[in-house]
Amino acid sequence: MIIAETERLIISEFTIEDAPFFLELANTPNALKYIGDKNLKSIEDAEKYLTNKTIKSYHDFNFGFYKLELKEEKNKSIGTCGLAKRRELEDVDLGFAFLPEYEGRGFGSESSKEMMTLAKQTFKLDKLIAITVPYNKNSIKLLEKLGFACEKRIKPFEDDEELLLFAKKL
C-alpha cells in the first residue's frame, strides 16, 4: 500500500514479497557497519524479519519502516525510511537506509522530510528522535540538516554500543 509520494519516490508498506530486496539492503556494507548485523542470511530470514518486525509494526503502531521506490523506474526499490517505536526508547525513532548506489543523492533528505510530515499530520506525533553511532558522519550531517539536535549519548541496547540520540519537535 502506497502511503506517500515525493518528487522522486514512492513510499509504500513492505510486504513479504519484498524479502529479496530487504535481504540485500540489510547486508550492504553501510547497513552492517552503522545499523548492525540483523543476521539475515536467507530469503526466509528476511521474510521472518519483515513479518515479525516491520509488518507487525504497521498493525501495532500504524507506522513502521517503508520501502522507497524510484518513480522514474517502476518497481526499483532503493532503500527504506520510516518510524520505529522501540521499547528501549521513550520516543518514536526516525531511521533510513539505502542501497550503496543511491546514497548521497538526496533520497535520505527527501524521504525523511516526508516521514516527518506524516509523523506530525497522520500519526499525530509531536517529537521524533533518531539514533546513530558517533562515527556515522553522513547520518549525523543529514539529521542536523533536517533540524534534529544531538541531546545525549545513550546505550539502549544489549550490545552496549554508545549511540548519539538526536531529537526534533515537530
Average pLDDT per block of 10 residues along the chain, 170 residues long: 96 97 97 92 98 97 97 92 94 97 96 98 96 94 97 87 94
pLDDT the model gives residue 51: 97
Separation CA 155–CA 25 (nearest Å): 25
Residue 53 belongs to domain spanning: 2-169
| CATH number of the domain within which 36 lies | 3.40.630.30
CA distances for 39 relative to 35, 48, 121, angstroms = 12, 11, 35
Strand order from edge to edge, sheet including 93-98: 2-5, 9-13, 65-70, 76-84, 93-98, 127-132, 163-169, 149-154
Per-residue pLDDT at 156: 86
Structural domain total, the chain: 1
Please report the pLDDT score of residue 67 as a whole number.
Answer: 98
Cell of 69: 521506490
Q: H or E segment at 164?
A: strand 163-169
Residue 55 to residues 11, 36, 90, 121, 163, Cα–Cα distance (Å): 15, 20, 21, 21, 26
CA–CA distance, 78 with 98 (Å, rounded to integer): 6
